[in-house]
Amino acid sequence: MSILVDKDTRLIVQGITGRDGSFHTKQMLAYGTQVVGGVTPGKGGQTTEDGLPVFNSVQEAVDATSANATVIYVPAQFAAAAVTEAAAAKIPLIVCITEGIPVLDMVEVYHAVQGAGCRLIGPNCPGVISPDKAKVGIMPGQIHKPGRVGVISRSGTLTYEIVNSLTERGIGQSTCIGVGGDPIVGSGFRDLLPLFEEDDETDAVVLIGEIGGDEEERTAEYIGEHLSKPVFAYVVGQTAPEGKRMGHAGAIVSGGAGTAASKIKAFSAVGVPVARTIDELADAVAEKFKA
């Protein structure tokens, strides 16, 4: 199996006629993802150059295509409304690639998604990929290989780095998820780790955290209490100066909280090895799982 996306995923693209939406639609189609249509208000009834129908609203798209997932490539000022519209249409999986959504807007969006019973990945994330099954987002498909190690990360670029390192060592992936780097995201580590735990084709999980907030500390506690599968970790920002924002809006250390040291200590306390480099992380996984 895989989690979140597979060959049965029926995907619509919100913002399909825009620059990013049209480009990445082609990439997802080329990978084999079942893209069934898209949404751009005011352009309903048109057809994209890929032959996909365009709808004025998400509800129209769902009614016509039976879509069960959506990916959002719209400017930040419209992205919160796009997520809320997808939740109102009860799409089970919503992936928001857009960055720069105001935090206060995300507070409202988070509760709207939760209230609708949907799952949101992102915003400010690279998306989700189950190798050789479906790609939803902007991850480079060519570096992924089917296998039995799940990958979950707050950093998009570091996701690619670790996946490439794993693939080079013959270690394939079940599903790779970029949760996003903003202070408020739809699904955190503790929301997604249970899915890997329940997946009978995932044997281990690679987790890439970063400085800022206490998500990793709380995740470590969850792992210690609930996970039976091995977890391997890497914390981005181990040399970051205190009090500085490093890359993501959520990657800021303040008042002694959210440091790399505190996260490493929390993981180590529950038996999760924390690598010092990406190569060290990949080597540790390969040593345990490579046939």
pLDDT 10s digits, 265-290: 999 999 999 999 999 999 999 998 86
What does the pLDDT look like over 190-246, one tens digit per residue?
A: 999 999 999 999 999 999 998 888 899 999 999 999 999 999 999 986 655 665 555
Banded pLDDT at 2 (limits 50, 70, 90): confident
> In the predicted model, is pLDDT for residue 1 greater than 80?
no
The one catalytic residue in 24, 111, 144, 248 is 248
Banded pLDDT at 156 (limits 50, 70, 90): confident
| Phi and psi angles of residue 194, each rounded to the nearest 5 degrees, phi first | -60, -30
Average pLDDT over residues 117-138: 98
Q: What is the pLDDT of residue 120?
A: 98
Whole-structure pTM value: 0.93
- Domains, the chain, ranges and CATH? 11-121 (3.40.50.720), 140-289 (3.40.50.261)
> In the predicted model, is pLDDT for residue 55 greater than 50?
yes
**Active site (annotated) includes residue 248:** yes
Q: What is the pLDDT of residue 54?
A: 98
